């Protein structure tokens, strides 16, 4: 008689797992035996052979075996350490333990036979291993493992040996396929070299040493890993598509597309809309006239004119008798939108509202009252706009800028404020989303791309210089400002602390004021009060300040066409997408603009590659793809994207080749096997599936 399915066996049924260990495993997302089986190794160690000490090279991770010929406690610069001298037939090596106890001192004495695994280093007594994993043996010919040794992500209190013991118990329970059933019909599986689910899991936990390395999960083409990644990506896509389908079944505002306000607004602009802007506006207008709520992602490179398209959408909502809301992740960006929309809407005699976390007292009360009465037609603000006290009379359109800075929960929570009707949603980003990432992270959204820059825009000339040329760059700023133009100097720090960022910017501003006595230098950083920040930005915008020293708070939302030079200090510390965003602050006027990447040598190979990419291209989508390849989805999306960066097996950059198959299988499964969606989502996402059900 078979036992219950593995997803119904709590992990604390295994030997050695009590309440405390169970809590620590829960921190890793492991609650059942099935969860433990899906907690796959992130790398492997080859302990299937023993390396003679003489052949051990500095920097290698090897397994050695020998007898302790001497041991004792020594005192050095780093404090007390237990040193054991190990000898085999070929030579000697020291084991050093800086953290040891009385039990270890008793065990690790002369004559003890040890098998150790660790990295070989050169220490004060010659070749050494610091804190190696070790086992005291009873005989010289003790058996070595016949599989590669897995290394798992773990938490404090659960070391690798214990995790391996738990997994071995789970693998022993993986006897019948009914305990971990195949959920996908054979017709949907495609070709994975005939490897089924259970076999894939066994192979990835305990790969034999003679098998091709691509089966161990260390390369792109492992059929075992691809088999699991396919199912996991499918579960995530099903989760996101369900969100879209569920939303589509809800009633939404239906806007009239024959309207006067958008036409009057377009006619009042001092420029013509580009072909790409007109195309995307038609897509948005078609959605807003439909019965299902719009859920659209609007991508466009820096300066492509997304805000104008968003304004047209907001005007469609307003003339149809609804309100609109625009939410931005930072106060600087939200205020930039406010300053952009204010003259547009004043011309059309439409009242706007502003709300941030710093809006207090009477000003806040007035905004909330105007929203509730319907007098305020468009609300612009930060995270504050989805607070419980903010109530709209008739919200019809939600616009979210720089979506990757918000979590899925946040953009959906704002949409709920439409009451019985489900508000339309437009998500904008100037950080192009790689196709591979969009297919997973934004599968609930339709996509539009503004792939055309306004006429007259010239690519920014980007150069990479060592900090040794700093004085040269400062002279260049003098020449640029003397010609009537303005410049940015961006400071970055490895530490994310706003206090340290501010200190670095203040020190740089003081240095530049001394070096450039005839130039007015402004300063903006995250520690300034909102009023101070606004005043500094306004002085720069009006040309009263010629050089603006800033932290990366100016990454988005700053539009000063006269600024034609940007210096980014320590660019090797930033991701490609962030560098591209910062560079987008220049090149917004008719003058040829320049961006200087001022790095601190020596550069690592990775940093050199990244700076080479940003120098060679201004194509935001290519930069985004490279950023994904180099940094991974967690860094590109940000940790707030629940359920996306936390894949157990899949890597959406490495697994891009199967994403089309995942998309097609998702459609076929929902059409022909809809009953399989819930079990797949439960298996791979479990409790995290709530992020798609806000």
pLDDT for 98-145, tens place per residue?
989 989 998 999 899 999 999 999 988 889 999 999 999 988 878 888
Q: Which residues pair with 76 in a beta bridge?
A: 79
Quote the mean pLDDT of the chain.
85
For the ranges 144-148, 493-497, 572-576, which has the lowest average pLDDT? 493-497
Q: Residue 176: what pLDDT? A: 61
Buried residues in 330-347 as b, exposed as e (16+ CB within 10 A) = bbbbbbbbbbbbeebbee
pTM above 0.85, yes or no: no
pLDDT band at 627 (very low <50, low <70, confident <90, very high): confident
Place of tokens 């603009």: 593
Structure tokens at 661: 């198959």
- 318 burial (CB, 10 Å; 0-12 / 13-18 / 19+) is buried
> How far is C-alpha 441 from the chain's CA centre?
10
Q: Find, among 430, 429, 425, 319, the residue nearest to 377 by Cα.
A: 319
Q: Longest C-alpha distance within the chain, in Å? A: 93
Phi, psi of 568 (to 5 degrees): -110, 115
Q: Is 182 helix (H, G, I), strand (E, B) or coil?
A: coil
Phi, psi of 383 (to 5 degrees): -55, -20
pLDDT band at 253 (very low <50, low <70, confident <90, very high): confident
What mean pLDDT do residues 215-233 have?
72
Hey, what domains does the chain have and what are their CATH numbers?
Answer: 6-44+152-219 (no CATH), 49-144 (2.40.50.140), 261-450 (3.40.50.300), 461-617 (3.40.50.300)
Residues 40 and 65: beta-carbon distance below 8 Å: no
Residues 354 and 381: beta-carbon distance below 8 Å: yes
**Better-scored residue on pLDDT, 178 or 610:** 610
Give the angle 10-161-86 at the CA atoms, nearest 5°. Answer: 170
Q: Is the pLDDT of residue 177 over 60?
A: no
> How far is C-alpha 296 from the chain's CA centre?
20
How many C-beta atoms surround the C-beta of residue 274 within 10 A?
19
Q: Left if phi > 0, otherwise alpha if psi is -120 to 50, otherwise beta: which for 585?
A: alpha
Give the angle 227-233-234 at the CA atoms, nearest 5°. Answer: 90
The CA distance from 589 to 564, in Å, is: 8
Buried residues in 5-27 as b, exposed as e (16+ CB within 10 A) = ebbebebeebeebeeebeeebee
Helix (H) or strand (E) holding 600: none
How is the beta sheet containing 295-300 ordered, strand by strand? 352-355, 378-381, 323-327, 395-401, 424-429, 295-300, 446-450
663-668 contacts at long range (C-beta below 8 A, 24 or more positions apart): 663/237, 663/439, 665/188, 665/190, 665/234, 666/234, 666/237, 666/238, 666/241, 668/188
The CA distance from 679 to 115, in Å, is: 45
The CA distance from 508 to 499, in Å, is: 14
Q: Is the pLDDT of residue 629 over 50?
A: yes
Q: Residue 500: what pLDDT? A: 63
The CA distance from 301 to 430, in Å, is: 5
> How far is C-alpha 635 from the chain's CA centre?
3
Q: Is 61 helix (H, G, I), strand (E, B) or coil?
A: strand
pLDDT for 443-459, tens place per residue?
667 889 898 877 767 88
The CA distance from 222 to 406, in Å, is: 34
Residues 352 and 437: beta-carbon distance below 8 Å: no
- 396 burial (CB, 10 Å; 0-12 / 13-18 / 19+) is buried
Q: Find, among 329, 345, 424, the residue nearest to 377 by Cα.
A: 345
What mean pLDDT do residues 342-367 have?
91
Q: Left if phi > 0, otherwise alpha if psi is -120 to 50, otherwise beta: which for 10?
A: beta
In the chain the first and final C-alpha atoms are separated, in Å, by 41
> How far is C-alpha 298 from the chain's CA centre?
19
Q: Residue 495: what pLDDT? A: 46
Question: Which DSSP letter does residue 66 get?
Answer: E
Q: Is the pLDDT of residue 520 over 50?
A: yes
For the ranges 136-140, 266-270, 637-641, 654-658, which has the lowest average pLDDT? 637-641
Helix (H) or strand (E) holding 568: strand 563-569
What is the share, in percent, of the chain residues with pLDDT greater than 90? 45
């Amino acid at each position: 008689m078979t036992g219950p399915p593995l997803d119904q066996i709590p992990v604390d049924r295994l030997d050695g797992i009590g309440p405390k260990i169970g809590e620590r495993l829960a921190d890793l997302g492991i609650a059942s035996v099935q969860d433990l089986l899906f907690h796959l190794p992130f790398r492997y160690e080859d302990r299937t052979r023993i390396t003679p000490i003489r052949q051990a090279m500095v920097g290698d991770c090897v397994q050695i075996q020998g007898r302790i010929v001497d041991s004792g406690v020594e005192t050095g610069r780093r404090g007390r350490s237990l040193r054991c001298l190990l000898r085999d037939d070929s030579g000697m090596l020291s084991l050093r333990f800086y953290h040891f106890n009385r039990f270890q001192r008793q065990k690790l004495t002369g004559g003890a036979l040890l098998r150790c695994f660790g990295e070989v280093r050169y220490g004060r007594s010659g070749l050494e291993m610091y804190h190696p994993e070790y086992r005291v043996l009873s005989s010289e010919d003790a058996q070595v493992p016949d599989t590669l040794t897995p290394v798992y992500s773990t938490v404090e209190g659960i070391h690798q040996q214990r995790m391996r013991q738990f997994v071995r118990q789970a693998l022993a329970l993986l006897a019948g396929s009914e305990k971990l059933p195949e959920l996908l019909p054979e017709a949907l599986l495609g070709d994975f070299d005939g490897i089924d689910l259970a076999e894939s899991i066994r192979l990835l936990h305990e790969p034999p040493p003679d098998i091709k390395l691509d089966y161990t999960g260390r390369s792109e083409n492992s059929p075992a890993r691809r088999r699991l990644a396919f199912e996991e990506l499918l579960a995530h896509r099903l989760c996101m598509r369900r969100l879209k389908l569920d939303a589509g079944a809800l009633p939404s505002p239906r806007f009239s597309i024959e309207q006067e306000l958008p036409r009057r607004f377009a006619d009042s602009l001092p420029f013509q809309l580009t072909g790409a802007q007109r195309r995307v506006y038609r897509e948005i207008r078609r959605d807003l006239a439909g019965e299902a709520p719009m859920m659209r992602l609007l991508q466009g490179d820096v300066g492509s004119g997304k805000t104008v398209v968003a304004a047209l959408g907001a005007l469609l909502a307003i003339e149809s008798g609804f309100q609109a809301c625009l939410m931005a992740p930072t106060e600087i960006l939200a205020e930039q939108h406010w300053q952009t929309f204010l003259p547009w809407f004043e011309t059309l005699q439409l009242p706007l509202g502003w709300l941030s976390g710093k809006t207090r007292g009477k000003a806040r009360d007035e905004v909330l009252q105007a929203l509730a009465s319907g007098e305020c037609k468009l609300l612009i603000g930060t995270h504050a706009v989805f607070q419980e006290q903010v109530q709209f009379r008739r919200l019809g359109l939600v616009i979210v800028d720089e979506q990757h800075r918000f979590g899925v929960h946040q953009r959906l929570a704002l949409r709920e404020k439409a009451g019985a009707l489900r508000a339309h949603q437009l998500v904008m980003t100037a950080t192009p989303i790689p196709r591979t990432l969009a297919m997973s992270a934004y599968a609930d959204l339709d996509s539009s791309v503004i792939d055309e820059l306004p006429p007259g825009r010239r690519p920014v000339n980007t150069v990479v210089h060592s900090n040794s040329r700093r004085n040269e760059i400062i002279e260049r700023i003098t020449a640029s400002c003397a010609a009537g133009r303005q410049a940015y100097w961006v400071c970055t720090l490895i530490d994310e602390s706003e206090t340290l960022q501010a200190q670095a910017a203040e020190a740089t501003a003081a240095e530049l004021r001394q070096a450039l006595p005839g130039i007015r230098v402004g300063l903006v950083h995250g520690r300034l009060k909102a009023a101070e920040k606004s005043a500094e930005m306004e002085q720069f915008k009006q040309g009263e300040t010629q050089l603006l020293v800033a932290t990366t708070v100016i990454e988005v939302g700053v539009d000063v066409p006269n600024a034609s030079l940007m210096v980014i200090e320590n660019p090797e510390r930033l991701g490609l997408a962030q560098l591209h965003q910062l560079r987008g602050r220049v090149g917004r006027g008719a003058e040829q603009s320049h961006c200087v990447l001022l790095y601190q040598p020596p550069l690592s190979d990775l940093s050199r590659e990244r700076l080479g990419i940003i120098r060679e291209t201004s194509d935001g989508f290519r930069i985004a793809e490279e950023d994904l390849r180099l940094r991974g989805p967690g860094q590109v999306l940000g940790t707030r994207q629940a359920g996306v960066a936390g894949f157990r097996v899949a890597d959406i950059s490495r697994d891009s080749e199967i994403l089309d198959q995942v998309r097609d299988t998702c459609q076929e499964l929902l059409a022909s096997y809809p009953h399989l969606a819930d079990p797949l989502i439960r298996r791979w996402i479990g409790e995290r599936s709530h992020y798609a059900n806000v």
